[in-house]
Structures are given as C-alpha cells and as structure tokens.
Structure 1
Amino acid sequence: MPDFAPPPLDDVDRIMAIMACAFPPEFGEAWNRRQIIDSLLLDTVHYALIAPDGTIAPDRIDCAAGFYLSRSVLDEEELLLFAIAPEWRRRGLGHALLIQFITRTRQSGKKRLFLEMRHNNPAGVLYAAHGFRPIGLRPRYYRTLNGDRIDAITQELVIE
C-alpha cells in the first residue's frame, strides 16, 4: 500500500475552525484534529472546501466557509462530515457543496451515497431536498453533554 502525504495543515486548520463553530458542542458530533488528520491519510477519504464566494476546491482556498469529508467503499460513498459556518449559512453554499459532493461521487462511479445524522438535525431539510431518504434508525445513538440520548438516522441517495 503506498504512503500518502498528510493533508495540508492549513486545510486541517480551516476544517477545525468550521467544525468548532458549526457543530453544537452539546451533541458531541465534531471530530478532533487527530481524527481529521488520520482520516485524510487514507486514499479512500475525500474532502472539499467551499469559499464564501462559492468556489469549491479540495485546497487552495484562503477563507473557507464550509467543508465536507467523505469515505468511499466499493461503489458507495459515505458523507462523514458536512458543515457550513453559521455566518455563511442561508446563502446557498450548503446546496452548492452538496451538489459538488453528489456530482463528484456520481462521476467516480458510485451507486449509493449514505450519511448519518442525529434526529431533528436542521441539515435534514437540505439532504431531503437533494434526494436523500431515511433508510434506518440507530436508537439512542448520540449522547448529549447532559446525558440525554438522541436517535441517529441513516439516509441514502441512490445515484442513477
């Protein structure tokens, strides 16, 4: 298996900054820096950043407004993390980034896309608008800081 270079640290910094403000801490969904770096060392993990002006690239963005991180397995792709910083929401950036993700995975020959989200996550509206449908439930999967448990919903998009 070939060795892979670590991701550019400034991209990791951008991802961490977005995650810090975009993921409510009470749900414990954000990854730590080591998890991000380790995942990006795998050739099956992909990411992209979106700038406030809507430019999307895996790198070369000075100011990132959002990102996604995904993993491919055979003919499937799983959206692991997806976030738009709160100050850049409601400007179409989430739609643009999700379209880019779906397009990239379609072009790479993937047949199904998956994601998992906590019940009542507001991003569910975005995912549904792009064709993702619930296919499974993990009861009480997420634990909040106060100990409450929240169901996880698995969603799928079949690419034709």
Structure 2
Amino acid sequence: MIDDLDRIMHVMDAAFDPAYGEAWSRGQVGDALVMPNTYYLLAGIDGSDPQEGQQAAGFALSRGAADEEELLLIAVDPAHQGKGIGSILMQRFIETAQDRGAVRLFLEMRDGNSAESLYRKYGFDNVGRRKHYYRRGMGTPLDAITFVLHKK
C-alpha cells in the first residue's frame, strides 16, 4: 500500500533536477506534513485525486499563516507533463488557499524556471529577488524570484 508521502516522493524524485538542489528529502517532507497549517494536494494522471493504490502524477505543498499562504513546492512527474496537471494543481491550490482565508499567496522560484509562465497565467506578479539564492555545486548561483497573488 502506498501512502501520500510515498506519492509525493515518487513525483519529487522524478521531477526535480538534482543540479539545482531544490528537491526536499523524505524527512523534510514528512516533517512538513505533520506541522499545523501545512497542506498538500495530489493529482492523478487525469488531474483528479489519484485512486487508491495508484501513484500520483503531481503534487503541491503549501503552508499558511494568518491571511497568507505560500506554495512551497509544486511538481508534475515528467512522464505526465504537458497534460494540464500543473494547471489543475495551481487552480486547486489557489481555490483551497482562498477557501482557508488566504488573501495573499506567495511562491518562490529559481530564475529561469520554466514554470514561470504557469505562475503568471494565474496572475502571480514578481515582487522580489534574492541574489544567488540557489547554489548549484560548482555552477553559477541563481537568483530566487518571489511572486505574489492578491485575492481579487
């Protein structure tokens, strides 16, 4: 029997390029999931919740505080990319966070991340930059870009 942590880690291992150091360890995800105000969404291959015993095709992990919520991680297994699963997860994240009372949603991404177009599609605006935040081993450090979406 696979549990939701297994499902998240399956996608994480497939989707995150180790060169950027963005993936979380199983322990980090497990610790986050037991913290208050931490939420996750899973998507199956058609974007809906995965069926019992099936792996997830994507996930989103967020944390809320007061009237804000931050999208900590979002990923789609490369085998299922290009099918709209990322869009479904973004829409569900926005709706569920706002249902919980969030009026500002935040996320941060590595400069050059191809997901930027997805974030902008849903109305997220660039509000900040952290210089050289992502260290890539011997590679050139990359900036982190912060985005916000205000409830309309």
Shift of 1:147: 3.7
Q: Is the 8 A contact 1:49 1:61 kept in 2?
A: no
Taking the aligned partners of 1:37 and 1:69, their CA distance within structure 2 comes to: 11
CA distance change for structure 1 residues 48 and 61 in 2, over 3 Å: closer, same or farther? farther
Taking the aligned partners of 1:63 and 1:84, their CA distance within structure 2 comes to: 12
Indicate which of 78, 94, 107 corresponds to 2:99: 107
Amino acid at match of 1:71: R
Count how many residue pairs are aligned between Structure 1 and Structure 2. 152
Per-residue CA deviation, residues 99-149 of structure 1 (Å, 9 max, x unaligned), is 000010111111000000000100001000000110000000001132420
TM value normalised by structure 1: 0.90
**Is 2:69 aligned against 1:81?**
no
Q: Is the 8 A contact 1:39 1:45 kept in 2?
A: yes
Taking the aligned partners of 1:56 and 1:146, their CA distance within structure 2 comes to: 39
Shift of 1:9: 6.6
Shift of 1:61: 6.2
In the alignment, which residue of structure 2 is the partner of 1:11?
Answer: 4
**Is 2:48 aligned against 1:36?**
no
Q: Is the 8 A contact 2:10 2:55 kept in 1?
A: no
What secondary structure, in the 3-state scheme, does the structure 2 residue paired with 1:56 have? coil
Amino acid at match of 2:142: I
**Is 2:22 aligned against 1:23?**
no
Q: How does 1:1-160 map to 2 (within 5 A)?
A: 10-56=3-49, 60=52, 62-160=54-152
Taking the aligned partners of 1:89 and 1:65, their CA distance within structure 2 comes to: 9
CA distance change for structure 1 residues 80 and 61 in 2, over 3 Å: closer, same or farther? farther
Amino acid at match of 1:156: V
- CA RMSD, aligned part only? 1.6
| Runs of 4+ with deviation above 4 angstroms | none
What secondary structure, in the 3-state scheme, does the structure 1 residue paired with 2:36 have? coil
Amino acid at match of 2:80: W
Structure 1: gaps of 5 or more residues: 1-7
Amino acid at match of 1:67: F
